[in-house]
Amino acid sequence: MSSVLADVLVVTALIGALALVHRPLGDYMAAVFQSEKHLRAEKWIYRSVGANPDAEMRWPAYLRGVLVFSAVSVLFLYLLQRIQGKFPLSLGFKPITPDQAFNTAASFVSNTNWQSYSGEVAMSHVTQTMGLAVQNFVSAAVGIAVAVALVRGFARSRTGDLGNFWADLVRCVIRILVPISVVAAVILIACGAVQNFGDIHTITTLTGDKQAISPGAVASQEAIKDVGTNGGGFFNANSAHPFENPNGFTNWLEIFLLLVIPFSLPRTFGRMVGNVKQGYAIVGAMATIWFLGVIAVTWIEYAHPGTASQLAGGAMEGKEQRFGEGNSSLFAVSTTMTSTGSVNSFHDSFSGLSGGVLLLGMMLGEIAPGGVGSGLYGMLIMAIIAVFIAGLMVGRTPEYLGKKIGTREIKLAACYILITPTLMLIGTALAMALGKGESSMTNIGAHGFSEVLYAYTSASNNNGSAFAGFAANTEYHNTMLGLCMVLGRFLPMVFVLALAGSLAEQKPVPPTAGTLRTEKPLFTGLLVGAILIITGLTFFPALALGPLAEGLA
């Protein structure tokens, strides 16, 4: 079987599996967040934190819950890293330095999972499991909770109540993330992924050198890192490491896991607003952009010019032979469009134009399909922008799901989409102007600039992947990238929740003959076009200086 045909079958199987679970998983998640019952384990958690899960919250109270919980999480994870040597199973590792501990704490709490360290030689078993793995669950649940609050803003009327943050957080972890992750971890273990709390093993290689092999609770962390679109690997090589990703099937499974919740949440949205066709329109826009990205990167990597690439059948530098061009490209596009950051190849070794597509996937706001929760609320913000543009074209007050998109709503949506470009472009500009970017580059010229641009794009969009040639473990970059991660995660949530509160207070507007049918394919096309145009106008100059200049040279 040719490699191209095999790649087509892999993508076809992936799309089929995602389509198969879209409806049952989406309906189940809707039922979870609409249920009035609390499980016994959930009641125990509510009592332990002093929360009343039945108390409705308006958007300021919901936001306070998000920010307080996240701030405490950052502090806890920071302290855990600073004193990790005092716990059992420390493996003899030293405390993490203050700047790197802040960067890592900000990274995992913001669902970015950017890593300026090598996990197998820096983080103890306690830090990996009690700190990083726990944040993989709760940071993902925070994103889903905020998305659900926005959906309630569309579904409710004449009230500012958006639900209860603590109930949404706990239910998401207990009823959604934990069950899926347990099943995924068992499958990974059965397929060869490592899961233990053993000591470091020193082995002798074939060349006679000594190598330290660090075991750990790899499979369980691998499962939630993909299910929660986190991305932080147990090992520095991430999903290119055979302990994390043993074979071709586990590679396919990991791609499926990082896409399954983001692609199912639009069904949850449709169920909660009472019109599943609205969810189909959203998932259609997500799938269109994702599929175009997969085709573009795969074709560019197979067609990469050069004698060595042609003899190898494609640009194999930085890619594993067991995965090849197709699986590496599929993984790369999926991870950069889902705010995951997990990698099975070095993105730094992708050709210039492919690197540009991966950058563009993040610059879109990671909404195709995006991170768990963040992808849905990001796409709904873009839907509001698209409806507003359509209203300007016909001279009609824009409406979406029976809610008028007035001055307040469009201002909040505009502020949301301006945050990430501001952080990303200013962060890149400062790094280059102060010489901090150039000193961390492995390469010079356009590709070196792309390394810096990719780092600040990844941090500001809460992705976590990197062009590996960029040396990020400096006091400056640890601090600046950490700030970009925190601001890029929580500032948008302020505007999302404020928008949700504004929508929930409105009186529904009945549809008329002039109402834009937002459940139709025409709207899906308008939404995709608006996303690409807005992103192109915003980021084309930066892309022209980096990946486009390199790819067209």
Q: For 383-420, how does the pLDDT look when each residue is reduced to its tens digit (9 = 90+)?
A: 999 999 998 887 777 899 999 999 999 999 999 999 99
pLDDT single digits (tens) 333-385: 999 999 888 888 888 888 889 999 999 999 998 899 999 999 999 999 999 99
Q: 513-519: long-range contacts (C-beta < 8 A, 24 or more apart)?
A: 514/394, 514/396, 515/399, 516/387, 516/390, 516/391, 516/398, 516/399, 518/278, 518/281, 518/383, 518/387, 518/400, 518/401, 519/275, 519/277, 519/278, 519/280, 519/281
> In this model, does residue 307 exceed pLDDT 60?
no
Range in 188-202, 230-244, 313-327 with the lowest mean pLDDT: 313-327
CA distances from 281 to 324, 403, 524 (A): 33, 17, 6
pLDDT value at residue 435: 86
In 59-124, where does DSSP find H-type helix? 59-82, 98-109
Report the alpha-carbon distance of residue 346 to residue 319 in Å, rounded.
7
> In this model, does residue 423 exceed pLDDT 80?
yes
pLDDT value at residue 437: 75
> In this model, does residue 469 exceed pLDDT 70?
yes
Max avg pLDDT among 27-41, 205-219, 296-310: 27-41
- Section 202-209 average pLDDT: 79
Report the alpha-carbon distance of residue 538 to residue 424 in Å, rounded.
11
Give me the percent of the chain exceeding a pLDDT of 90.
Answer: 64
- Section 162-188 average pLDDT: 96
pLDDT value at residue 325: 84
pLDDT single digits (tens) 88-108: 777 778 888 999 999 999 999
Question: For residue 399, what are the β-bridge partners?
Answer: 404
pLDDT value at residue 311: 47
**Which residues does 359 contact at the CB level (< 8 Å), separation at least 6?**
336, 450, 453, 454, 457, 539, 543, 546, 547
> In this model, does residue 29 exceed pLDDT 80?
yes
Give me the percent of the chain exceeding a pLDDT of 70.
Answer: 97
pLDDT value at residue 2: 66
Q: What is the mean pLDDT of the chain?
A: 90
Nearest to 134 by CA among 90, 95, 181, 91: 181
- Section 118-124 average pLDDT: 76
Reported as a pLDDT band with limits 50, 70 and 90, residue 518 is: very high
Reported as a pLDDT band with limits 50, 70 and 90, residue 204 is: confident
> In this model, does residue 6 exceed pLDDT 90?
no
Element (H, E) at 509: none
pLDDT single digits (tens) 427-441: 999 999 998 877 777
> In this model, does residue 305 exceed pLDDT 70?
no
pLDDT single digits (tens) 274-291: 999 999 999 999 999 999
pLDDT value at residue 306: 54
